[in-house]
Amino acid sequence: MAMIRYDYRSEVLELSTSLVVCLPDAAPPTGGYPVLYLLHGLSDDATMWVRKTALEEHLQACALPLLVVMPQAHRSYYTDEAHGIDHWTHVTAEVPAVVSRTFRISAERRDTYVAGLSMGGYGAMKWALREPERFGAAASFSGALGLAQRTADPRAAGALDGRLWDTIFDGRDVTGTEHDLLRLLDSAAGTALPPLRVTCGTDDPLLAENERFIASARRLGLDPAVDIGPGAHTWDYWDAQLRAFLEWLPAAADRGRAAP
């Protein structure tokens, strides 16, 4: 398996940036490799999944010949910042275009997946809920799934850092907007969503907002795969959940293929 750092000029960001790509040893199947966009957390970068987990080992055990793409999003919460850079547009539009013209990947929904941890879990769910037609499955590990609700009261425990709040959201309460996962769940009710997987450790400070997201999904008749169990906001937990996700993914992808 090749680990590639791909440097390129981003027209959206108006600067040079990079991707980390895991490329399978095997030749691509007919139609191209299935692709997983794997999103990093708030204090991380595009290299952290490779540096902090046994990603290569887990991929070798996976039944799918995945090409894994890890983009750079800095501390953006995968959002077009009010006073900054358009990270959402970069990750969701420009990165797939760069990858598709550089590597032989499938363009089919059934072969396209997204997952992430913490801030990246928020980004993965946001992307899957806003563009469900793009994905065959999506997952969040310890995701910041109640981010919007935290902006309603900047004094509350777990609220966004004031500088981030101002830069990303112009200091606004974004509940009920396109940044609010609970609102996106409501909007997606009745549509053909991809299979979703939501996991969080019982010692994680984000547990309550993950449980709220799960409960909201179930009230809407959705049936996300859920793993709430021992663990904290740590790389040991995310490594184990990455392995579990890759074990779950082939069957979930089959369900996604059966969806209309």
Residue 247 dihedral angles phi and psi, to the nearest 5°: -75, -35
Q: What is the DSSP string of 1-53?
A: -EEEEEEEEETTTTEEEEEEEEE-SSPPPTT-B-EEEEE--TT--TTHHHHHS
- Enter the pTM of the model: 0.96
Residue 3 has pLDDT above 60, yes or no: yes
The letter for the amino acid at 205 is P
DSSP single-letter state for residue 233: S
Domains of the chain: 2-254 (3.40.50.1820)
Residue 42 has pLDDT above 50, yes or no: yes
d(CA 238, CA 241): 5
Mean pLDDT (whole number) for 137-147: 97
- Indicate the helix (H) or strand (E) that contains 166: helix 162-169
What is the strand order of the sheet 67-70 is part of? 2-10, 15-23, 67-70, 35-39, 112-117, 137-141, 196-201, 225-229
Reported confidence tier of residue 260, pLDDT bands at 50, 70, 90: low
d(CA 136, CA 194): 5
The pLDDT value recorded for residue 259 is 57
Burial grade of 137 (CB within 10 A; 0-12, 13-18, 19 or more): buried
d(CA 92, CA 79): 10
The pLDDT value recorded for residue 227 is 99
**pLDDT tens digits for 146-164?**
998 877 776 554 556 777 8
**pLDDT tens digits for 203-255?**
999 999 999 999 999 999 999 999 999 999 999 999 999 999 999 999 998 87
How high is the mean pLDDT of the chain?
94
In angstroms, what is the C-alpha Rg of the chain? 17
Distances in Å between the Cα of 257 and the Cα atoms of 36, 37, 94, 128, 226 are 16, 18, 25, 15, 21
Beta strands in 66-194 (DSSP E): 67-70, 112-117, 137-141
The pLDDT value recorded for residue 157 is 45
Mean pLDDT (whole number) for 61-72: 97
Mean pLDDT (whole number) for 117-126: 99
d(CA 7, CA 101): 14
DSSP single-letter state for residue 110: G
